[in-house]
Amino acid sequence: MMLDPQARTLLERAAQAKYPPVHTVQPAVARRMYREMCRALQPPPPEVAEVADLSFRGPGAQVGLRLYRPSAAQDALLPVVVFFHGGGFTVGDLDTHDVPCRTLANFSRCAVLAVDYRLGPEHKFPAAFEDSVAAVRWTAAHAAGLGLDAERIAVAGDSAGGNLAAATALALRGEGPRIALQVLIYPGLDMRGLSPSHTEFAHGYLLEREDILWFMGNYLGSESDALDWRASPLLAQDHSGLPPAHIFTAGFDPLRDEGWSYAEKLTASGVRVSYECFEGMIHGFITMSAALAAADHLLYRVAQGLRLAFARKMG
């Protein structure tokens, strides 16, 4: 397995930039640094048919949403992907993932509804999880008024957002709304951080071991929270009856093995799974599409899976 040449160049640029390590700064500074990085590594936002900022009253506060309608929409009622951004439950927002969400909407010809869930350390576990579940329920309840199809809803997210997508699928299992597909992009699924890839790629690949521990500390209120399936979906006692899953990992990512382990666990539980590892990539790469061609490749693969899942849902 070889590091992608574009990823190697990006890592060299990052080393030269001499940003302070994320775990050494205050959350507000980390959020600013992450926004700046996303702006620097993303192209101009692609045009879509419509972008609307919305909100609803969540379990603890107003939850912001951003609805994207694709430029080539064909259905009167659009299928919708509820998307949870990455950022270690501490950084990231609707703007950092605006370009990926626009791209995904256009590639998939589906609506994308991005969720601005509460972040740590101001809002500890299970705040982000509760907001995520509430967002999917709100989407189904208000779908008709938004021109969305309540019978065709998927959940998706990258990194921490992949964790929230997986946990939301677990929470909604056996009740409405039914989820057509869960898309987990280099997800963090086990808050214990014990898999071999955590050691193998602990340093030198942008997401450092110390950063992961810092993110976990910002989100979790206690060590016992790491054993709760709402924080660590991999540790749920039962994974049967879950929606089909598309799981994507990056080869040089501390979280790689968690995605693979989840794919194995879902498969063993009778869940239909598609697993793909972008072997030369590093963590976080869908927000780096101006520097890494693989970002749009992955989003196109996600779009293919969504179109297939939504077509199956109608059949």
HSE-CB of 27 using CA atoms within 13 angstroms: 17
Choosing from 85, 198, 239, 283, which is the catalytic residue?
A: 283
Active site residue 123: no
* Burial (Cβ within 10 Å: 0-12, 13-18, ≥19) of residue 175: exposed
Q: Which amino acid appears at position 217 of this protein?
A: G
Contact 35, 93 (CB under 8 A): yes
Q: Is 253 a catalytic residue?
A: yes
SS3 content of the chain, % helix, strand, coil (to 5): 45, 20, 35
159 is catalytic: yes
Strand order in the sheet with 50-57: 50-57, 62-69, 111-116, 78-84, 148-158, 179-185, 245-252, 273-282
Catalytic residue among 158, 190, 211, 253: 253
Catalytic one of 159, 197, 232, 289 = 159
Active-site residue list: 159, 253, 283
